[in-house]
Structure 1
Amino acid sequence: MIAMKENRTYKWGMIGCGSVTEVKSAPAYQHTEGFELFAVMGRDLSKAKDYAHRHQVPNFYDDADTLINHPEIDAVYIATPPDSHEFYALKVAAAGKVCCIEKPMATSYEACKRINAAFKNAGLPLFVSYYRRSLPRFLQIKQWIDEGKIGSIRHIHWQFCKPANELDMSRTYNWRTDINIAPGGYFDDLASHGLDLFVYLLGSINSAEGLAENKLGLYSAKDTIKGKWQHDSGVTGFGSWNFGAESREDIVKLYGNKGNITFSVFGESPIVLECDDETTQLSIPNPEHIQTHHVENIKSHLREGALHPSTGETAAHTNWVMESILKNKIEVINN
């Protein structure tokens, strides 16, 4: 088992060299003081080599076991599609390494529980890349909530729409719309970010239900979803996600008894606070490498013992919420 290091460098290995890692994540690990991206792994060795050379990563492999069990590697970032997350995560836990998994954590809540059990039994920290919990724009919203700027929060509403893209229209294979990997389609990939953020802002969800349909017939996964839920605090929520709309829309509104907060989950439009007959708009841009603050918080967790906001336990809860919505019935969470 790896011991927590106070000042020594953590050497990371990354499994998967997909588009999410090019700008969003891998450079964040490289640029974080005390971290080194030491090795990458891809199933195609030539592509892994190209990735390593472009990103100045010293080692590359086409075998995950070689990377996971490398004696110099302290931690592993799993950046593959979610159907392989559990497979690799259990190997990382068995090897006694720290781990961060891309979101969603796994393809099912039960798989998330198995992953968490493995890391708990090994006494190892586990993180999941719900990086919005670490972004300054959402920390500002949380500060407004905690300061009671809009009073007692009653309801949250999220409307998200986007048009079908070229992959969808051409019926080209895309794991994000394969029902065996992402039953909710883009809902799993995109809505997971918002639902996880709402739990961070408002607390755990204890019931959820929804209606999930495939209206376009472009792929096997769902493309139109409606969901409602309730937080432990009593705050109710409603979301509507349409992945075949004419135009893109991403609007979240928090309703309190003294005001409202409006923001976007994915866009960088100003966050808006309405209270006391005044309107405050703040523009808080995201960093160039959007996982920068998330990775910095991993370092703080490992070096200083500061609890990271996105762990295996919080991410598993998000999986449970998504599954409850897709099952089309209310369930009470049972851990």
Structure 2
Amino acid sequence: MKQAIKWGIIGCGNVTEVKSGPAYKMTEGFELVAVMRRNLALAQNYAERHNIPRFYDDADELINESEVDAVYIATPPDSHYYYAMKVAEAGKICCIEKPMAPNYTECIQICDAFEKRNLPLFVAYYRRSLPRFNKVKSLLEEQAIGDVRYIHWTLTRTPSEKDQSKDYNWRTDAKIAPAGYFDDLASHGLDLFAYLLGDIKEASGISSNQQQLYTAKDAVSGSWVHHSGVMGSGTWNFGAYEREDKVKIIGSDGEIRFSVFLEEPLTLIKNGGIKEFVIDNPKHIQQYHIENMKKHLDGTLQHPSTGKTATHTAWVMDKILGKL
């Protein structure tokens, strides 16, 4: 019997409570043995609630703990590079929360550090592993809508109370997320589109801070083209009057509609008919992503979200924001 791979988490905040943390414990062949937060009391509280034997307030201690084989970095993105380089130096497997880093250059450097040491590097773009989006992929591969022509995504939402009160939020701090919620949310969709339709060869866009509620941008419009020739466009606005999350993939024979974040049915429109597919997400939404990491490490599956694919997504993001 193979020995279990023992994981430690750096930054056991909200994202790890339900979305990811429990799935590391549930995955056969993985164990969650250590967590770290800068506040030791909060780290201890998390460890006790989730029945995890070790807790730290020093990331170096967790990274260099002999019982830890792999590290999941779940901190805000401005610290991903710092911790990832330490994990690579320690010679350990790593998974980084998305976005992989605040810019394309740091992503390249992180990838290089892990490739140099022949270490597995994953990034938590977990939508690539979710059944609902793999259904979209299978419909495209079956040419259910014929030849794909273009994809468009509209994502809007109203400003939150936190935005309007100007309470601190790293997601709207330009030093951490220059394009605000675009960095945090649009990265999920753009990464997914590259998975569904192939890598993107060119992208551009414009951005603005329309509301002046925070330092980061709050409105972005972009366009791109995949290597396959499929055209893409998107509009992201975080000061609109309503929430909207609609993706349309238009083909020569039909159309597929879905939402990136809302758990709505997938819709196939073809020959005047409409067919819906209801595919629920798991309770712990990173479950399939984490199970696929184990399969990758066992050599039975190529994980769809690696440092390389996430670096491509960072390149697309930076091109849309005019940073490259």
Q: TM-score, normalised by structure 2?
A: 0.99
For the residue of structure 2 that corresponds to 1:274, the secondary structure is strand
1:122 aligns to 2:123 (yes or no): no
1:139 paired with 2:128, answer no
* Match of residue 186, structure 2, among 191, 195, 207: 191
Q: Of the candidates 33, 40, 62, which is equivalent to residue 45 of structure 1?
A: 40
Q: 1:326 corresponds to which residue?
A: 321
Give how far 1:305 is off: 4.2
- Matched ranges for 1:1-335 at <5 A: 7-327=2-322
- Whole-Å separation in 2 of the counterparts to 1:123 and 1:304: 15
Offset at residue 166 of structure 1 (A): 1.5
1:77-109 Cα offsets, whole Å, 9 max, x none, are: 000000000000010011010000000000110
- Could you tell me how far apart the structure 2 residues matched to 1:157 and 1:65 are? 43
Amino acid at match of 2:289: H
- Tell me by how many angstroms 1:17 deviates: 1.3
Q: Which residue of 2 aligns with 1:3?
A: none
SS of the counterpart of 1:8?
coil
| Distance in 2, Cα, partners of 1:233 & 1:116 | 25
Unmatched segments (≥5 aa) in structure 1: 1-5
How big is each residue's C-alpha offset from its partner over 1:136-178, in whole Å with a ceiling of 9 and x where there is no partner?
0000000000011101100000000011111101101110001
Letter of the 2:8 partner, please give it: G
Name the SS for the 1:24 alignment partner: coil
In the alignment, is the contact (CA less than 8 A) between 1:40 and 1:60 conserved in 2?
yes
Give the number of equivalent residue pairs.
Answer: 324
Q: Which amino acid aligns with 1:268?
A: E
What SS does structure 1 have at the residue aligned with 2:203? strand
How many Å apart are 1:233 and its aligned residue? 0.5
CA distance in 2, matches of 1:271, 1:128: 25
Alpha-carbon distance in 2 for matches of 1:42, 1:307: 31
User: Which runs of structure 1 show a deviation greater than 3 angstroms over 4 or more consecutive aligned residues?
Assistant: none
Which letter maps to 1:199?
A
Q: 299-308 or 286-295: which moved more?
A: 299-308
Secondary structure of 1:36's match? strand
Q: How far apart are 1:304 and its partner, in Å?
A: 2.6
SS at match of 1:218: coil
Shift of 1:8: 1.6
Map Cα deviations across residues 24-44 of structure 1 (whole Å, 9 max, x no partner): 000110111111110000000
For 2:291 and 2:271, how far apart are their aligned partners in 1?
36
Amino acid at match of 2:275: T
Q: Secondary structure at the match of 1:255?
A: strand
What TM-score results when the alignment is normalised by the length of structure 1?
0.95
- Measured after TM superposition, the shift of residue 54 of structure 1 is 1.0
What SS does the corresponding residue of 2:102 show, helix, strand or coil?
coil
- On the 8 A contact 1:7/1:303 being kept in 2, the answer is no
SS in structure 1 of the partner of residue 18 of structure 2: helix
Looking at structure 2, the residues matched to 8 and 278 of structure 1 have their Cα atoms a distance apart, in angstroms, of 52
- What residue identity is the alignment partner of 1:172? D
Shift of 1:291: 0.1
- State percent identity of aligned pairs: 59
SS at match of 1:123: coil
Q: Once the 2 structures are TM-superposed, how far is the Cα of residue 312 of structure 1 from its aligned partner?
A: 0.2
Give 1:278 deviation, angstroms.
2.4
Unpaired stretches in structure 2, ≥5 consecutive residues? none
Amino acid of the structure 2 residue aligned with 1:313: K
